[in-house]
Chain A
Amino acid sequence: MALQSLDIVRRSATTTAPPGVREAYTGTVAKLIDTTKCIGCKACQVACMEWNDLRDEIGSNVGVYDNPGDLSGESWTVMRFTEYENPKGDLEWLIRKDGCMHCADPGCLKACPAPGAIVQYSNGIVDFHEENCIGCGYCITGCPFDIPRISKRDHKAYKCTLCSDRVAVGLEPACIKACPTGALVFGTKEDMQQHAAERVEDLKSRGFERAGLYDPPGVGGTHVMYVLHHADQPQLYAGLAADPHISSLVGLWKGASKPIALAAMAFTALAGFFHFVRVGRNEIDERDEAAARQALEAAPPHNAPPGPGAPPILNSPHNPNPDKRP
């Protein structure tokens, strides 16, 4: 087993349990993104680029502050800016750092067909191991947050790793390190929930009555959580899912139906074998040949001289071209 801090609890396309003697008694980690403190400086994006050695293509302005315009194989986090006019008629600039939510029940991992391409560590981080990735994009199909992207450079899937390499050695993720306002904090999930509760209380005292923590139970909770001023309307924040869960279609596609289908295919093949054993082959015998011969002799073909050796019968050893229809 590798580093204790990188113990794997779930592995894509693997039907047996991973090594599980060591348990994460100290709990899991989480990143808390406080949208109410974010100033949209994009230092987190730069830190992500630097630490992970990522250099996306220089794009063009898409008409809003989002830059780049979307996540990509080379951009694992993007600030999404929303101009929201609240019921009082005031403008609110809602800024959300978008990226992998590190679901406790990850749709990407459930959908992935490549063994070990997606893993979940005991600390809660969901990580892609691109050396095992086959580039099919099923993780995109499975993700409830539209996060993974296939890189155009190498056709592998990429997303935020929550800096699993840094976390493994006791460092906080690069984006946390770079945030100048304290909008990004990192720690155990428990601590982050506690910290968020204090923030929510503060926000409520300042008039944001609907402030709250975004830790959606539909995916078992997430290891990236948001403090939102409008927790009752997460979709205000550039379409953050109100009730994310793994799609029932993905459940049908990747759930119990798979082993059942596999068993049904095996059963079909076995049914043939046992039909062979019990009933046997359907063979012709001399009577069939005799009956056929009689029928052929009794009914000479139209437009053909009567006589033995009706035209549809080919005497193959003497026929120069047996494949040609008579």
Chain B
Amino acid sequence: MSDTERRAILERYSSGERTNHWLIALGFVLAALSGLALFHPALFWLATLFGGGPWTRILHPFIGLFMMVVFLPLAASVWGDNRMQAADWQWLRHLQDVVNNREEHLPEVGRYNAGQKLLFFVIGACLAGLLLSGLVIWRAYFSLYFSIGVIRLASVVHSVCAFVLICAILLHIYAAIWVKGSLHAMLRGTVTPGWAWKHHRAWFRQISHAAHPRTRPD
């Protein structure tokens, strides 16, 4: 590999996008840890991280609101790239190939693959559910406006959404470790052309203005 090749990189995430992503990540980690403390007795010790039970109860909803607020700009900026298309459903039908690192049979992937798109919508739906149910069970300010039946339902909805979101984010974190180069992309913003070519070829073509693939005898 020559020096020029080693230095050849593509920008995938701007500094603004990266900051936004990691603010959401920070919000998620704090909200999840404080929420898990209240979720099951086996995890109540996590409350210590937030200064004890009462502080966990006080902070958790505000952390949640922070996560919602920082999610909005990211959601607005990636919304267009996350619309499901015909090729995405085809990609999902090849999930077996995806998890076994066989990308030859997959349709070309744009800026985001179908898994990332589904994750985006799962996160969005869970956050909406968490926000609405969370307001209902926020005893200090809002619970008094709701009937006991609604509060009980919201408690279940809040738990279910949190559970789905945590599982989804665990997969998201693993995917970043699994697909080498992804973590660097979100930390420093750049990927190599080969990375884009392999994992997001349609996006690669788009940004390099290479309209069609060429077959060349090697």
Q: What is the interface of chain A, defined by CB distance below 8 A to chain B?
A: 13-15, 113-115, 132-138, 140-141, 146, 150, 155, 247, 249-250, 252-253, 257-259, 261-262, 264-265, 268-269, 271-273, 275-276, 279-286, 288-296, 298-302, 310, 312-317, 322-326
Contact = CB atoms under 8 A, between A and B. Distances in A.
Given A262-B42, A316-B190, A325-B14, A250 B210 contact: no
B178 A282 contact: yes
Which interface residue of A253, A292, A313 has the most chain B CB atoms within 10 A? A292
Nearest to A314: B9
B139 A136 contact: yes
Contact of A284 (B166, B180, B190): B180
Contacts of B77: none
B177 interface: yes
Given A13-B41, A262-B40, A325-B11, A292 B180 contact: no
Contacts of B170: 265, 268-269, 272
Given A14-B41, A115-B41, A315-B4, A279 B99 contact: yes
27 contacts: A133-B54, A134-B47, A134-B53, A135-B54, A136-B57, A253-B156, A257-B159, A258-B159, A261-B39, A261-B40, A264-B167, A269-B174, A276-B174, A279-B99, A279-B101, A282-B180, A284-B198, A288-B197, A292-B194, A294-B214, A310-B208, A312-B207, A314-B9, A316-B190, A322-B9, A325-B14, A326-B11
A299 B209 contact: yes
Contacts of A289: 1, 5, 192-194, 197
Nearest to B197: A292
A312 B57 contact: no
B162 to A, nearest CB: 9
B137 A301 contact: no
